[in-house]
Copies of this chain bind each other. A is one copy, B any other.
Amino acid sequence: AAAIPPGVVSILDAKRGDIGNTAQAYARAAFDDLDFDAMTVNPYLGADSVQPFVERPDRGAFIVCRTSNPGAADLQNLLVSTPDGERPLYEVVAQSAQKWSRHENVGIVAGATYPDDIRRLRELCPSMPFLVPGVGAQQGDVGAAVRAGIDAERLGLIINAARSIIYAGSGPEFAEAVRAAAQRLRDEINASRAAPAGRGA
């Protein structure tokens, strides 16, 4: 993370999930050796696999919850028995993420490609930050994702794009093309924040 300017939050999207002893080593690598502020973490191994990433108040984790890829529903949308009735697994994961947040330093990954699920997650987690992949090469609809996931203060989303930005140009035009692609996405996000759908004007 040494190449990232100070003041910019850096998130290592490594989706790690391992037993406690190994998770501690991954957390040291990400937070101490590489100096990232946060990391994405896979929840399948449960609480002790997440703990090393969330126990420090100055670092945080985004729990992989509802991802943007075609196979996401295979496990994440399975219906699970809970004391409140049946719910999709990703909702149980979101509630676990809230429980695992010790220092208001935990968010969830909620893919832009499934805005209905983002909306449901925002109902369950009104104040959690959402990391939202899937708007670039994966073709999620920015406006739909923003309208579904924005919080009561019209904030709460970190919308990331990788391939659509870093491959926006090449050769001498590289820097300008990448800058323009990033600005277009930023402007599109902000335009969607400004215009709530279906609430009048």
**Chain A contact residues, CB within 8 Å of chain B:** 15-21, 42-50, 64, 67-76, 78-81, 86, 89, 92-93, 96, 133, 137-138, 163
Most buried by B among A46, A76, A78, A138: A46
Q: Nearest Cβ in chain B — how far from A136, in angstroms?
A: 11
Complex Cα distance A146/B83, Å? Answer: 35
State whether B15 touches A68 (Cβ < 8 A): no
A92's contact among B43, B45, B75, by CB below 8 Å, is which? Answer: B75
Quick one: which of B21, B42, B78 contacts A80, CB cutoff 8 A? Answer: B78
CB <8 Å contact, B81 and A78? yes
Contact flag A44-B44 (CB < 8 Å), given A67-B19, A78-B92, A92-B78: yes
Partner of A43, one of B16, B44, B138: B44
